[in-house]
Amino acid sequence: MGVAPAARDVTSYGMGLAAPLALFFLVFFVAPLLQLFWLSLHNDTAGLHWGLGQYLHFLTDPFSLGVLGSTLLLGAEVTAVCLVLGFPIAWLYQRVGPKLQTIIILIVLLPLLTSVVVRTFAWIVILGRQGIINATLQSLGIIDTPLKLLYTQFGVVIALAQVQMPLMTLPLITALGRIDPNLDDASCSLGAGSWRTFFRIVLPLSLPGIIAGCTLTYAAAITAFITQSLVGGGQMLFMPMYLYQQASTLQNWPFAAAISIIFLLAVLAVVSVFTTLGRMSRGYGGAG
Amino acid sequence: MADAPSGRSLVVDAVTHRYPSGALAVENINLDIKGGEIIALLGPSGCGKTTLLRIIAGFIAQTQGRIIIGDDIVDALPPNRRAVGIVFQNYALFPHLSISENVAYGLAARGIDKATRQREAQRLLELVQLPTMAERLPRQLSGGQQQRVALARALAIKPSILLLDEPFAALDKNLRLDMQIEVKRLQRVSGITTLIVTHDQEEALSMADRVAVLSHGQLEQFGSPSDVYDRPQTLFVNTFVGSTNRMPGVVVSADRTAAKVRLDAGAEIIARPAGGALSEGGRVTVCIRPEHLQFVGDETGFAGVVGMSLPLGATVVHEVTTADGSGVKVSQARIGETRALTNGAAVRLAPLAPSLANAFPATL
């Protein structure tokens, strides 16, 4: 600890090795993105008039802004749930024997081994009016009429949290694993209780992992088209579905393109806040 | 200096610890340490010395026995309420906190106000001669400086006992000596009862008032450095502390204070029965340190042939092959005209004094 490992300068590697991937990105990511931007600068669907009309429309339309707001809020809620539930799992992982570690990592990774569609349908079965939760609560006599769980914000957050959980837990496991276990003992021997040790030592030193996990979870949650639409149903509209409706159903490609660009910028803004925080926390150097 | 607190005593009373697997980590360890003493726990890795340290600190609950600090049995207390200061081998400084915050950490945990904390941290940093480093981060300091901070941090809570776990292992040789002197100076100033865990015998002998030698979870000997070096009680202590020649032989006659042993190498010598009474006719191992052997001109002692001579500066070490084919090392002080010994020269060797040859019952 304390001594920074001698990191090899990245520029000393042959940059040519990155060329195939760079080319791939250029053709299949950068070019379509530019085309999308180009499309968004048209004021009519026929593509005859130029201007920022589509952006103006979105930014002055309360409905569109509402969809954007609720999508960003959804991401924040899912991220918060994943962090609160994922941290104890990661913490536990670092404190159990190798056998239990294998089991925990398997449970954490399990969601990734199943298709998102299958997992989402499972949540529909669990949350539905005649679903597992309602059936259980009714048979226990706790409730008389079924609770509305499916097609609610709550349902979407819970389903997304389960789907995105590995993205939070894995970086947290890595970050916690890098903390010198002696620091726990040192804090304890200096008279600090478990809570002080957690908030003053463990939490600050795991910040790089928390930020990485939050960035991944957030970005994945707000763009999760399938889970959002299936668990949210018709009543809940989020940006990906809004975009899909404009592009496929209404054939309003320029407006859909503008929605994409605005959504992209909004996501980038949130992610860059996270990365800035991450850069600041690297000053801690605890993981170094 | 006037208010140097007298350290509290530490008693390790019949402590035994078993791992969950059932294997013994330490067995029936008894140490009675007076307030203000420096004690070294010396032993090879895996001998249980670190386990014992962690038991005293409260990180491990021993299977049997008691830990008594001052007048209090502390077995029921968690580590954060034992007031035991620890300096870890890798220092375990909090990497995200400044040096000053590191030192003040234990005071903050005790709810001491910020102004007092900072004043105390500064006082301790002056004590360890790092007054200008308060605002730096640990990784900006050298290894020796980090260790001083770790010491200051442990001393800040005014611990009743100070535990040092292999404190000098990570330092290079010159710095190690400086830090050993520094720790001894701080210990004198604070008067705090100190326990140093080490596998380095020189460190143990030079720093400690008394040395506890451990092997395979057993306490082999607990005594002053000169006791441990000159009057080892077991074959392990004799061979682990300092270097020694092990010479097999048979007891010719023995009483409580002296034994006549016929060495397999030839010659009968008088040795000290070090590990308890010896029986006549029994096999023994006689340990004689290289510096306790001398070349003799007469027919006493045993014969040998000089193999190699290594001039080590102040001393010259000769490798001599004895009649039974085993090799012994002889260390000769280089005073004036040391007789040059040529390769293949026939010599006779004898111990300097009977008390310097230790006879232990041979183990199979």
pLDDT tens-digit profile of B131-188?
899 999 999 999 889 999 999 999 999 999 999 998 888 788 888 888 888 888 888 8
Query: Closest Cα of chain A to B24: distance in Å?
Result: 20
* DSSP string covering chain A: --SPP-PPPGGGS-GGGGHHHHHHHIIIIIHHHHHHHHHHTBSSTTS--BSSHHHHHHHH-HHHHHHHHHHHHHHHHHHHHHHHHHHHHHHHHTTS-HHHHHHHHHHHHHHHHS-HHHHHHHHHHHHSTTSHHHHHHHHTTS-SS----TTSHHHHHHHHHHHHHHHHHHHHHHHHHTS-HHHHHHHHHTT--HHHHIIIIIHHHTHHHHHHHHHHHHHHHHT-HHHHHHHHTTT---HHHHHHIIIIIS--HHHHHHHHHHHHHHHHHHHHHHHHHHHHHHTT-TT-
Please give the angle made by the CA atoms of A245, A77 and A105, to the nearest 5 degrees: 105
Q: Is A55 part of any domain? A: no
DSSP H helices, chain B, are: 49-57, 99-109, 114-127, 143-156, 173-190, 201-207, 225-230, 235-240
Whether B35 has a pLDDT exceeding 50, the answer reads: yes
Percent of chain A with pLDDT over 70: 93
Nearest residue, CB atoms, B95 vs list A191, A196, A286: A286
Cα(B171)–Cα(B177) distance, rounded to whole angstroms? 9
- Answer whether residue A5 is part of any domain: no
What are the tokens at A65?
A: 């802004």
A203 contact B CB<8A: no
Tens of pLDDT, residue by residue over B236-280, are: 999 999 889 999 999 998 888 888 899 888 888 888 888 777 888
At residue B190 the predicted structure's pLDDT band, cuts being 50, 70 and 90, is confident
pTM: 0.80
Could B86 and A284 be called an inter-chain contact, meaning their C-beta atoms sit closer than 8 Å? Answer: no
Give domain status of residue A33, yes or no: no
Residue B80 to residue A186, Cβ atoms within 8 A: no
- Partner-chain contact A285 B95, CB within 8 Å: yes
Q: Give the model's pLDDT for residue B52.
A: 94
The count of structural domains within chain A is: 1
Size of interface A-B (CB pairs under 8 A): 90
Q: Per the domain annotation, does A20 fall within a domain?
A: no
The answer as to whether A82 is a domain residue is yes
Among candidate residues B86, B89, B90, B59, the one with its CA nearest the CA of residue B166: B89
Residues of B in Cβ contact (< 8 Å) with A188:
59, 78-80
Instruction: Flag whether A37 is in a domain.
Output: no
B19, B87, B105: best mutation site toward chain A, by most A Cβ within 10 Å? B105
With respect to residue A14, please indicate whether it lies within any of the assigned structural domains: no
A148 touches B at CB < 8 Å: no
Out of B59, B105, B141, the one facing A185 most closely (by C-beta) is B59
pLDDT digits (tens, 9 = 90+) for B77-91: 999 999 899 999 899
Give the C-alpha separation, B35 to A70, whole Å. 67
Compute the nearest-CA separation of B113 from chain A (Å): 15
Looking up residue A147, the CATH number of its domain turns out to be: 1.10.3720.10
Strand ranges of the sheet holding B72-73, from the earlier edge strand across to the other edge? B24-33, B10-18, B64-69, B72-73
Chain B closest-CA separation from residue A94 CA (Å): 17
pLDDT, tens digit (0-9, with 9 covering 90-100), for A179-201: 999 999 999 999 999 999 999 99
Residue A147 lies in a domain: yes
From A2, A190, A286, residue closest to B146, measured CB to CB: A2
pLDDT by residue (tens digit) across B209-237? 999 999 999 999 999 999 999 899 999 99
Nearest residue of B to residue A288, measured between CA atoms: B95
Hey, how many other C-beta atoms are within 10 angstroms of the C-beta on A117?
A: 11
| Residue A171, domain extent | 60-285
Q: Which among A185, A196, A284 is the nearest to B109, CB-wise?
A: A196
A196 touches chain B (CB under 8 A): yes
